Amino acid sequence: MGDKQRKLKDKASRAYADGDLKDALKLYERVVAEDPSELQCKLKLGDIHRKLGNFSAAVHEYAPVAKAYGEDGLLLKAIAVCKMILGVDAGHTETQVMLADLY
C-alpha cells in the first residue's frame, strides 16, 4: 500500500469516526476504486450504506467480501459477513446458500 493510499484510508477512517458518513463513503469508495482487494474498506462501505439505509448497496458491498473470505478459507469471517448480509436482507437467497455451504 502506497503512502497516498494510506493517507486516504486514514482520512476516511477519521470521517467515519466523526460521524461524517457521506464524506467517509466517498473516501472509502476512492480507496476501493484504486485497490479492489481492500476488503476491510469494502466492509466499511457496507456498514456506511447500512447506516444510511441503503440496504441493497450494503449487500452489494458485503457479498464479495463474504465470497473472498470463503475462498481464502477464512470460514468464520465469511460466516460473520453472511450474517451481516442476512441482518440487512433476511431473504437474500444467494447468501443463505453460501452460509449453508460454509457450515
103 pLDDT higher than 90: no
- For the residues 21-43, what does the mean pLDDT come to? 95
Give yes or no for a contact between 60 and 48, defined as CB atoms under 8 angstroms apart: no
Please report the pLDDT score of residue 3 as a whole number: 87
pLDDT of residue 62 exceeding 90, the answer is yes
DSSP state at residue 73: T
Asked whether the beta carbons of 98 and 82 are under 8 A apart, the reply is yes
Confidence of residue 24 (pLDDT cuts 50, 70, 90): very high
Q: Which three cell numbers stand for residue 72?
A: 481464502
User: How many angstroms separate the CA atoms of 8 and 26, rounded?
Assistant: 10
**pLDDT band (50, 70, 90) for residue 1:** low
pLDDT exceeds 80 at position 66: yes
pLDDT given for residue 2 in this prediction: 79
